[in-house]
Amino acid sequence: MQQVNLGMIGGGTVGSGVFHAWQKNGDLLAARLGIKISFRKIAVKAIDEPRAYPIAPELLTTQWQEVVNDPEIQIVIELVGGTGIAKTMVLGALAQGKTVVTANKALLSAHGPELFAAAAKSGVNLYYEASVCGGIPIIKALREGLVANQFPAIYGIVNGTCNYILSRMKFEGADFATVLAEAQKQGYAETPPDLDIDGHDAAHKTGILGSLAHGFWVNHHQIHTEGIREVSKIDMEFAAKLGYTIKLLGIVKQAAVKNPGRKTLVQVSVYPALIPSAHVLANVNQVFNAVFVRGDIVGDTLFYGRGAGKDATASAVLSDVADAAQDLKHGNQMRVPPFVPTAQAGKVVPLDEVISQYYVRFSVVDKPGVLAKIAAIFAAANIGISSVFQPEGDEGASVPLILMIHDAPNAAMRKALARIAKLPAVKAKPVMFRVENLE
């Protein structure tokens, strides 16, 4: 049987998970692929670091160059993370003509074109299934299973840490900081976890999905990104009363704006949104992720699974290893296109131009005329209110006032809210979330 040798850089949460999964199912993989896959070296920062799963000590080194430069290693798995040394490692491995498998969405997002150009120059593939949604094979789904489709809309719960935090806040009333610490302990969170909770990790992934779906490079600076710090229990409860659930969504959607040119204008954003509680995405909880993909031919599809964690992510990494091994077996190195095709088929539309619906919560003095003043500002901006909800409160006290807002451009909404915030009767910064009806 043909043999392929692996080298891995990183033996932390995901790396140790990959080693464990290979120990468990390596023989099964060999039987399925007709290729024996062996580990030759694994580089880590400190040999004695405690690991989620043990790694055979004889494989460990602290010199990542030993992995990249070993002529017996054909496939290098990068599981270090970040955009610094990991970039040097990946470029070093590609320059040595090795196929690279990575789970590093931050690196792909920041340096995708350069990395894919380096892979092309060396005539090898750069695989990245584990970079989006942990164990869900969404990259292969978009690139292969749904290749015959255009994608009018993709909505994803793509960050396990945020979904874990939001779910536990909603169902257990858990405190944000406590749940975040638990997500870190489980190995779900990035280093630092701000990457998760401020939406950047989701933006890295959403950009990759956008690039795959629309055939042009989505620079992460073009992605409007909001995290979950502003999501509170009170808004979760009001949203629920109105039939909605708040989720951090990655959105890749052909934009509802007038298209001035011939390019496809695509909204690529990450923000917490109200989605209908009856929708299947609203019922994706804990560390689970899901991606709802609308194809113009296939219709609506849903991909669901664990979005983070050592075992789920290892499954995705090993699926790339299997593809890479097949490439080597069949001498088919240029089979996989990167997510950065050279043809510029579209462009990202600024969020200000995107038309959305909104949930807004004001803290207002409970006296006659306040709603009229707020409504007048919205009316002057040509923004329509679709419903009003005001829980009972003591006259004169500050009470919540919730408005649901019809379709309006984000810029107009932003400006109207800034004006409303200055009204004397408005006692706190208005809280606004967009509403995505997923229709």
CB of 15 to ligand HSE, least distance (A): 14
Helices first, then strands: H and E counts in the chain:
13, 17
Q: Which does 110 bind (CB under 5 to 8 A by kind): ligand NDP, ligand HSE, none?
A: none
Please give the sequence-ordered ranges of beta strands (E in DSSP) within 164-320, or none if there are none.
Answer: 224-225, 244-254, 264-276, 288-295, 299-306
Residue closer to ligand HSE by CB (options 17, 338) is 17
Of 205, 247, 253, 310, which one is the catalytic site residue? 205
Which H/E stretch holds residue 361?
Answer: strand 355-365
**Which residue carries 């949930």 as its tokens?**
359
Question: Counting contacts by CB under 6 A, is residue 167 touching ligand HSE?
Answer: no
Residue of 43, 68, 252, 281 interacting with ligand NDP (CB under 6 A): 43
Binding to ligand HSE by residue 201, rule CB under 6 A? yes
Cβ atoms within 10 Å of 7's Cβ, excluding its own: 26
**Main-chain dihedrals φ then ψ at residue 337, nearest 5 degrees:** -75, 145
Q: Pick the closer one to ligand HSE by CB: 190 or 327.
A: 190
**DSSP class of residue 199?**
S
Tell me the longest C-alpha to C-alpha distance in the chain. Answer: 82
* Chain length of the chain: 439
Nearer to ligand HSE, 1 or 177 (CB): 177
C-alpha distance from residue 62 to each of 43, 46, 55, 76 (Å): 5, 6, 13, 15
Rounded least distance, CB 222 to ligand NDP, Å: 21
In 283-339, which residue ranges form alpha helices assigned H by DSSP? 310-330
Q: Quick one: which of 6, 21, 124, 308 contacts ligand HSE (CB under 6 A)?
A: 308
Indicate which single residue of 307, 338, 346, 409 sits in contact with ligand HSE (rule: CB under 6 A): 307
* Residue 415 annotated to the active site: no
Asked whether position 160 contacts ligand HSE by CB under 6 A, the answer is: yes
Instruction: Take residue 84 and report the two structure tokens written for it.
Output: 């610094």
- Part in contact with ligand NDP (CB under 6 A); list of ranges 42-50, 118-126, 243-251, 322-330: 42-50
What binding mask, one character per residue, do residues 311-330 give for ligand NDP by CB under 6 A, x or -? --x-----------------
Task: Find the shortest distance in angstroms from Cβ 207 to ligand HSE.
Answer: 13
**Residue 161 binds ligand HSE, judged by CB under 6 A:** yes
- Taking the C-alpha atoms of residue 323 and residue 329, their distance in angstroms, rounded to an integer, is 10
Phi-psi region of 29 (alpha: psi -120 to 50; beta: other; left: phi over 0): alpha
Of these, 128, 188, 339, 433, which contacts ligand HSE (CB under 6 A)? 188
Going through 114-178 in order, the beta strands assigned E by DSSP cover: 126-127, 153-157
Contacting ligand HSE (CB under 6 A), which of 196, 226, 323, 327? 196
User: Can residue 190 be called a binding residue for ligand HSE (CB under 6 A)?
Assistant: yes
> Considering the complex, what minimum distance in angstroms separates the CB of residue 187 from ligand HSE?
9
Q: Which does 196 bind (CB under 5 to 8 A by kind): ligand NDP, ligand HSE, none?
A: ligand HSE
Cα(145)–Cα(188) distance, integer angstroms:
28
Size of the site for ligand NDP (CB under 6 A): 28
- Paired with 76 in beta bridges are 7, 100
Q: Residue 158: how many CB atoms within 10 A of its CB?
A: 30
**Among ligand NDP, ligand HSE, none, what does residue 43 contact (CB within 5–8 Å per kind)?**
ligand NDP
Q: Do β-strands 244-254 and 264-276 pair in parallel, antiparallel, or remain unpaired?
A: antiparallel
- Round the CA-based radius of gyration of the chain to a whole number and report it: 24
**Which is closer to ligand HSE, CB of 75 or CB of 195?**
195
Residue 85 binds what, of ligand NDP, ligand HSE, none (CB under 5 to 8 Å, by partner type)?
ligand NDP
DSSP 8-state symbol, 59: G
Q: Give the residue, chosen from 16, 159, 167, 267, that forms a contact with ligand HSE under the rule CB under 6 A.
A: 159
Q: Tell me which residues are annotated as active site.
A: 205
Given the rule CB under 6 A, which residues bind ligand HSE? 134, 159-161, 188-190, 196, 201, 307-308
